[in-house]
Amino acid sequence: MLPSPKAVFANRLSTLVLLVAVIALIGILPARPLLPAVWPRPVEELVLPDGRWVFRPAPWHFLAAGADESRARTRPLSLLQVQLSDGSNEHGYIVAQSSGSTGTLILQTGPGQQRSLPVSSVAFMFYPNDLPLGQRVRLARGRLQERLPFSRMPSHHESALGR
């Protein structure tokens, strides 16, 4: 016996809805393997056996315990990433900040180590370990638009801040 036309229609409709949902989900998820240069990755703080701190982007894959020589590995929410106007990045914890055009930003970059950055050299700063998915997507979109030669959209600094 053949199924009724209503049953066939309902089956195909549910399959279509599921397919559209999967396509939409894939469309909104970041293409991490394709866009590693623009996707804002979390940053790990590693404590080495000699007591030094090292900041590095978190790996895309899971690391087993003891996979490296670190004594401790964390992803602190208060870790700040500062992108300087020359394109380099600094990581650390804010110790002090003075305002104005000649202001400075002082970052704690290790045990007993501080780095003073002129505010005029700071292009953009954010907390990489405390970004919700929506802000990560906006930041990645802005970075991608900056790299496209034909784009006239706002910079990633403006789009990530919602301006």
**pLDDT tens for each residue of 95-123:** 888 876 678 888 888 888 888 998 888 88
| pLDDT class of 40 with cuts at 50, 70, 90 | confident
Tell me the pLDDT of the chain averaged across its residues.
Answer: 78
Instruction: Look at residue 13 in the predicted model and tell me its pLDDT.
Output: 92
Q: Output the pTM of the full model.
A: 0.60
pLDDT tens sequence across 46-89: 888 888 788 877 776 666 555 667 777 788 888 888 888 888 88
Confidence of residue 28 (pLDDT cuts 50, 70, 90): low
pLDDT of residue 17: 92
Tokens 């866009």 belong to: 35
How long is the chain? 163
Does pLDDT of 43 surpass 80? yes
Q: What is the DSSP string of 39-106?
A: S---EEEEE-TTS-EEEEEPPSSPPPTTSSS-SEEE--TT-EEEEETTS-EEEEEEEEE--STT-EEE
Report how far residue 72's alpha carbon sits from residue 90's, in angstroms, rounded to the nearest whole number. 20
Strands 89-97 and 80-84: antiparallel
Residues 6+ apart with CB under 8 A from 127: 77, 78, 79, 80, 81
Identify the bridge partners of residue 26 per DSSP, sorted by sequence position. Answer: none
Q: Is 154 or 85 the better-scoring residue by pLDDT? A: 85
Whether residue 161 has pLDDT greater than 70: no
CB-CB contact of 84 with 98 (8 Å): no
